[in-house]
Amino acid sequence: MTDQQEKVIIVEGLSDKKQVKKIIAEDAEVVCTNGTLGVEKFDELLNQYDLDHRDVYILADEDSPGIRLRSQLARELPHARHIHVSSEYREVAATPENMLAIELAGKQIAVNPIFLI
């Protein structure tokens, strides 16, 4: 894997992607699902990002749509690691940067140290 990043972080929406990209300090690929996935859309993601052969992290909101997405992805990608945000914040984009950084770092994803203060 010389021309693509090892890690893929799957999030729901663009605001989640922006929040994660701002915090991480490594060249991981952040992929938006834009909500629930149909079979065809999932197969596109699987092939486009070679998800069966990469380190995959699932970071979904702690609300009904996010939990459904996480469940679906867990079935399709059993090797994926799960990153959870507190149910207090419910959404990835609404989670304070320092709290999100702690969760990401806990999964061995490099984060910008300024977010760990």
Write the CATH number for 90: 3.40.1360.10
Counting the structural domains of the chain, the total is: 1
Span 48-97, pLDDT tens digits: 999 999 999 999 999 999 999 999 999 999 999 999 999 999 999 999 99
Please tell me the distance from the alpha carbon of residue 94 to that of residue 98, in angstroms, as a whole number.
12
Enclosing domain of residue 21: 7-116
Look at residue 2 and tell me whether its pLDDT is greater than 60. Answer: no
Which residue shows structure tokens 């709290």? 99
DSSP-derived secondary structure for 64-84: HHHHHHHHHHHHH-TT-EEE-
Q: Dihedral, CA atoms, 4, 27, 23, 94, nearest 10 degrees?
A: 0
d(CA 67, CA 81): 14
> What is the per-residue pLDDT for 37?
84
Q: Would residue 12 count as lying in a domain? A: yes
pLDDT at res. 3 = 52
User: Can you give the pTM of this predicted structure?
Assistant: 0.92
Residue 2 inside a domain? The answer is no
pLDDT digits (tens, 9 = 90+) for 21-54: 999 999 999 999 987 788 899 999 999 999 999 9
